[in-house]
Structure 1
Amino acid sequence: MYGTAMVQASQATIGDSEFDRDTALVRRDEGVYDIDLPAGWTIAEAVNGGYLLAVLGRALADALPHSDPFTITAHYLTASRPGPAVVRTDVVRTGRTLSTGQASLYQTDEAGHEVERIRVLASYGDLDALPDDVRTSAVPPAIPPVEQCFGPKDGPAPASGSSPIADRLMIKLDPSTLGWALGAPSGKGEMRAWFGLADGRDADPFSLLLAVDALPPTAFELGLSGWVPTVELTVHVRCRPAPGPLRVAITTRNLAGGFLEEDAEVWDSADRLVAQSRQLARVRLG
C-alpha cells in the first residue's frame, strides 16, 4: 500500500489545519465572501491554482444545499496575488441529488479597479450517498515506497522552481520523474508523487482540488522550464478519500502551439481513484 515511513500520527485534523484556516471565507452577505489570500500558497509570486479552486469550492459549499464538489471547472483569467479578495457566488440550479452554482474571485488592482481572477462552474452533491459499485479498468500508479522518493528538501539545495507552497505540502516524487531536477529530463511528460499536507491533515474533497495542481509541471520532464500558467482546469471528485497519503499521477500526451494538457489521477490509501482532472496550460517555448 504505502511505505512505513509515511505512517505517522496526524498533527492536524480536517477542520483544524493551516489549509482549513487559509481557505476559510468570511460571509459578508448572501453569496458574497471575503478572504485574505496568504503568500504561503504562491508559486513565482502567483497564488496556486489548486489552492484557489479549494477557496471557491468552499464558498460554493456554503452557498449550495449540497456540500461536496462532484465536478468543478475553472477558467483562470488573470493571476491572483496575495492579499484581500472577494468571492461572489450564484446558485444556478438546485435539485434533490445535485446542485449547480458558479463563483468568481475578484481583487482590486493598483488603479483601484476590481479585476476578476478566476471563474468557476460546479455541480455539488453528497459523496456519502453514492453507490459503492466500481467497474473500472484504471489501476493505481506504480510509485516506489515513499522512503525511496524525493521532495524539495531532500537535495543539498532547494529544487529548481520551489516556492512558498512547497513548505505547506508533503510531496515525494517518483525518482523516474525527477530527471528535470538533475538536468536530464526524460522527455516523457509524466509526474508521479506521494502527496499530503505538511501538517499531517488527512485529505478531503477540497484538498483533492489542491492535489491535482500541486506537483511540478509535466513540462519540466519535457525539457521546458519556467512558469506554466493554467488556462482551464476541470476536476471530478469520485469519492471521499480514506485517511492516509495520496498518490498523484499526471501525464501530458500533447504539446502544441504553446499549450499542453495535463491529465491527473489521484488515488487514496485504499487504492481507490478519488479524483481525476484535466487542465490546459500555457508553456514558454524557446
Structure 2
Amino acid sequence: MPEAAFVQATIGDSEFDRDTAVTLREPGVYDIDLSAGWTIIGAVNGGYLLAVLGRALADALPHDDPFTVSAHYLTASRPGPAVVRTNIVRTGRTLSTGQASLFQYDEAGNEVERIRVLASYGDLDSLPDDVRTTAKPPAIPPVEQCFGPQDAPAPVPGSSAIADRLLLKLDPSTLGWVLGAPSGKGEMRAWFGLADGRDADPISLLLAVDALPPTAFELGISGWVPTVELTVHVRCRPAPGPLRVSIATRNLAGGFLEEDAEVWDSADRLVAQSRQLARVRLSN
C-alpha cells in the first residue's frame, strides 16, 4: 500500500492544542490532565506548563495574546490531573493583567501549588509596524545540516517523550556535549517546530523558549537543570514556518545560571524573548 500522505496539523487542531486545553469548572477555575507526552526525564516540561497557564489566562482575561508572562516554579509537576486558578488583577483598553496558579494533589489529597504566574495580555495585531532594533537572527546552518534527537546513535541525555512531539534540529556547533567535548560557551541554537507541522502562535512561543537542551550541557554539566523563574516577552505574532531559537548563558555562580533566549520566525522577526533562572546540580 502507498504511504499515507502527511497531514499538517493546524492551530487549534493539534496535539499541542489538545494537551494544553483547559476545561472551565467555574468562573476563573480550570481543570486539565497534564500529558505525559511533554516530559523530560519524567518531569513535565516548564514551557509546556507555561503554555497551559497561558491558555487559561487567555480565556479568563478580555485580551487573547500574552505580552509578558512571569512564572515561578514552586514544586515539580507530574503528569495527571491539575487545577488552574486564575484571578483578574486589572483590565484596561490595551492591556489586561491576571494571575494564575497551577495546583496538583499530594498523596494525602492536599492541594500543592506547582507554579504561580503573573501576566499581561493584549492584542498583538493592534501593535504598530515600526521596528528599531540592533538584534539580528542567529546564524544557524540550514536545517538539513543540523541534528535532532533522532539522529543520535544513542538516546540523547535529557530527551524523552517530548522529543517525539518536537521538530528540533540543533546547530552542530552547540552539540559538543553529545560527543563528550562540550565547548564551554554555554550556547544552544536550533530550528524549532512541532512534529505534527502545526505553525507557531503566541501560546506555543511559551513552549519554544524552554524546549531546547539546557545550555549547561555545553558547559560540561549533565543532569536535570530545573527552572526557578521564567519570564517571556512575546513581541509579535509569528509567521508560518519553522522558528529559530538561540539560548545563551553568561554566568553560572552559586549553583544557579541564567538562560537568555531569542525566538525568530521565518520572516526574520524577533517574535519572543525570555530569561530564566535555573538551578544546577554541581558534582563535588
| 2:142 aligned residue (141, 145, 158) | 145
Q: Which one of 202, 225, 228 corresponds to residue 225 of structure 2?
A: 228
**How far apart, CA to CA, are the structure 2 residues paired with 1:237 and 1:10?**
28
Separation in 2, partners of 1:221, 1:163: 19
5 Å matches for 1:162-173?
162-173=159-170
Q: Distance in 2 between matches of 1:160 and 1:226?
A: 8
CA deviation digits over 1:74-119, x for unaligned, max 9?
Answer: 0000000000000000000000000000000000011211100000
Q: Distance in 1 between matches of 2:104 and 2:221?
A: 31
Counterparts of residues 94-243 of structure 1 (less than 5 Å): 94-243=91-240
Q: Alignment RMSD, CA only?
A: 1.0
Identity %: 87
Using the TM superposition, give the Cα deviation of residue 209 of structure 1 relative to its aligned residue in structure 2, in angstroms: 0.2
Query: Partners in 2 of 1:260 and 1:225 — Cα distance?
Result: 14
1:10 positional shift:
6.1
SS of the equivalent of 2:63 reads coil
**Does 2:87 match 1:90?**
yes
Q: Residue 10 of structure 1 contacts residue 201 of structure 1 at CA under 8 Å; is this kept in 2?
A: no
Q: Which amino acid aligns with 2:209?
A: V
- Unaligned ranges ≥5, structure 1: 1-7
Equivalent position amino acid for 1:93 in 2: R
Q: How far apart are the structure 2 equivalents of 1:184 and 1:20?
A: 38
In structure 2, stretches of 5+ residues that fail to align are none
Quote the offset at 1:23 in angstroms. 0.2
Q: Which moves more between the two structures, 44-53 or 262-271?
A: 44-53
- What do residues 252-280 of structure 1 show as CA deviations (whole Å, max 9, x unaligned)? 00000000000000000000000000000
**Whole-angstrom CA distance in 2 between matches of 1:58 and 1:218:** 27
SS at match of 2:125: helix
Aligned partners of 2:51, 2:84: CA distance in 1, in Å? 12
Q: Which whole-Å CA distance do the structure 1 matches of 2:149 and 2:228 have between them? A: 26
Selected match of 2:40 from 39, 43, 59: 43
- Aligned in 2, Cα 1:10/1:174: closer, same or farther, shift over 3 Å? farther
Q: Which amino acid aligns with 1:72?
A: V
Does the aligned pair in 2 maintain the 1:9–1:200 contact within 8 Å?
no
Q: Matches of 2:15 and 2:97 in 1, distance apart?
A: 28
